[in-house]
Amino acid sequence: MVIIGGGNVAIDVARSVRRLGAEKVTLVCLESGEEMPAWQWEVEEAQEEDIRVMNSWGPRSVFSEEGVVKGLELKRCTSVFDAEGNFRPEFDETDTATVVADNVIIAIGQRGDLTCLEGSQVKLAGEGRIRWDRETLALSQEGIFACGEVATGPASAVEAVFDGHRAATAIAHYLESGELLEQPPVELAHLDDLPDEVAEKVKVLDPVAAETQPAETRGRDFSEIERGYTEAEALAEARRCLACTTGALVDEAKCAGCLTCVRICPFGVATVEQTAVMPQEKCQACGLCAAQCPAAAIALKRFGTDEMTGKLREMVADMKRKDSRTPLIVSYCCLFEMTSRGFIRQSQEDYPRKGVLPVMIPCVARLSVVDVLRPFEAGADAVVIIACSDGSCLYPTAEERLLGRVRQAKGVLAEIGLEEERIDFWKTEGSAEVSWTAFWELSRKKLQEIEKTHAGETK
C-alpha cells in the first residue's frame, strides 16, 4: 500500500491499513521530516509499526497493468514552500523512484464541498471556503451564517465547536431582532514568560508517561495503543501544573507595606511599592505569603484556605449531628500526595467509626495560624496536619514556615487552656493511604487519652 500525504490523517490511514492486513505500507510526502505537518510522535509510532516514510518525494504517475494498479512513480521534491512561505512545491524531474503497490490512497488536504451553494448569492473565498464576516459570522446572503473550517480554513475541532456556539448566538440574535450581532474574536490572555530568576527556583517534575502497547503487538488490531492514566498517574501528572494566574491577590486597602511577603516569598516574586505587588506571571501560588501576612491582606485567586472556611464549618456541624460523642479530628492533608479520591470519600463516609474528617489542601503550608485553629472554633477536638513526604514539596521553605505557624497555634491553645497535643503534624511516608490511615489512628488514640485526662480534670 502507498499512502500519499504527510499530515496526521495520512499517518492514521497508514496505521489503519497496516491493521487491516497490508503487509508493506509506504507513506510518501513532499515535506522533509522536519516539515511534515503530522505530529512527530505520530510519525515515530508509525515507523515503529514498520511503516516506511519517504520524505521529499511527490507522485509523478500511477503505473498499472491491464487496469490494475502496480505501483507509484515518484519525483524528488526539492522544496515545498517559496520564500514567502506559500505552498509552491518544486521538483527535480530527473531524480525519480518507484514504489511497488497494489493500492494507492491519497490522504492530502481536503476541501469543503460547496455545491449546495450553487445558485445562491453566497460569495466564495476560494480554496473551498466561504467568504464570511469574522465578527458577525454572516455571509454575503442575508440570513445565512457560517462557522468551522469552511469559513476559517484549517483549524481544530475545538475551535469549530466554539465557532458553532458563536454562530448559534448570532442566529438567535438575528431571529429575535433582525440585526446582526457583533462578536469580536476572543483575545486570549497572554502571560509573559517566567523570568529565569524565578524559573530556576521552580521544581521541575518529569512528565508521567502513560503505558503504551509495544510496537510488536499493537499493529495487529485496533485495540487501544495508549492505556491512558490511572487515577494515581493522572493526579501525579496534574501535580506538574504551575498553577499560573491562581496565585496571590493583594487587598491594597489592607496592606500595611510591612515587607513580610517580600521576606518570605521563596520565589522572590513579591515586592512592595506603596503596597505589595505580586505579578501573576511570576507568582507560583504557593500561598506562603497569604498564610503569613499579618494584615490578612493576601488571598489566593483559587484554592485559597478562605474557600474552605464555610464548608469546613458545615462539615464539622454535619459530623457532630451524626455523632456528637465521638471526638472529631479535622485532618488537613497535602493534596499533592493524594492518589485516590475514592479513599478520601470513603474516609469521610467512615465517620463516626473513625472520627476523622480529611480536608485536602494544595500544600498544607497555605494554612495560617487561624486556619489551624478554625476547626476548634467549629467544634472539632483535634487537628492533624499531614504534609507531603520528605523531599517532595514544590515550595522551598514551606515546611519550616508551616512548623512555625503550628507552634504559634499550639501556643494559642495553651493560652486558652487546651492541650497543645491536640495539634499533630505528620509527614507522608510511602503510600498516602497507608501512612495517613496509620497517622489518624495514632492521633485518634492520643486524643482519647487527652479526652480521658481532660474529663478527669474537669470532674
Binding site for ligand SF4 (CB under 6 A): 247-248, 250, 255-261, 265, 267, 269-270, 272, 275-276, 278, 283-289, 293, 295, 297-298
Shorter beta-carbon distance to ligand SF4: residue 29 or 335: 335
Q: In 3-state terms, what secondary structure has residue 391?
A: coil
Residue 132: CB minimum distance to ligand SF4, A:
44
Whole-angstrom distance, CA of residue 21 vs CA of residue 34: 29
Whole-angstrom distance, CA of residue 412 vs CA of residue 285: 28
5 contact partners, CB below 8 Å, separation of at least 6 = 13, 27, 29, 106, 107, 108
Helix axes 369-378, 398-415, angle to 10 degrees: 40
User: At 286, which amino acid appears?
Assistant: C
Q: In 3-state terms, what secondary structure has residue 22?
A: coil
Contact 49, 18 (CB under 8 A): yes
Alpha helices in 59-156 (DSSP H): 149-152
Shorter beta-carbon distance to ligand SF4: residue 80 or 365: 365
Residue 261: CB minimum distance to ligand SF4, A:
3
Shorter beta-carbon distance to ligand SF4: residue 270 or 328: 270
Shorter beta-carbon distance to ligand SF4: residue 276 or 333: 276
Contact 386, 333 (CB under 8 A): yes
312 contact partners, CB below 8 Å, separation of at least 6 = 330, 359, 374, 375, 378
Shorter beta-carbon distance to ligand SF4: residue 146 or 335: 335
C-alpha cell at 189: 490572555
Residue 278: CB minimum distance to ligand SF4, A:
4
Residue 451: CB minimum distance to ligand SF4, A:
37
Residue 428: CB minimum distance to ligand SF4, A:
22
Shorter beta-carbon distance to ligand SF4: residue 89 or 257: 257
Shorter beta-carbon distance to ligand SF4: residue 27 or 276: 276
C-alpha cell at 261: 511577603
Whole-angstrom distance, CA of residue 245 vs CA of residue 191: 9
108 CA to centre of own chain: 32
Residue 269: CB minimum distance to ligand SF4, A:
4
Query: Residue 294: exposed, middle, or buried by beta-carbon count in 10 A (0-12, 13-18, 19+)?
Result: exposed
Residue 283: CB minimum distance to ligand SF4, A:
3
Shorter beta-carbon distance to ligand SF4: residue 137 or 297: 297
231 contact partners, CB below 8 Å, separation of at least 6 = 339, 340, 341, 342
Residue 405: CB minimum distance to ligand SF4, A:
14
Shorter beta-carbon distance to ligand SF4: residue 197 or 377: 197
Residue 56: CB minimum distance to ligand SF4, A:
49
Residue 187: CB minimum distance to ligand SF4, A:
25
Shorter beta-carbon distance to ligand SF4: residue 300 or 380: 300
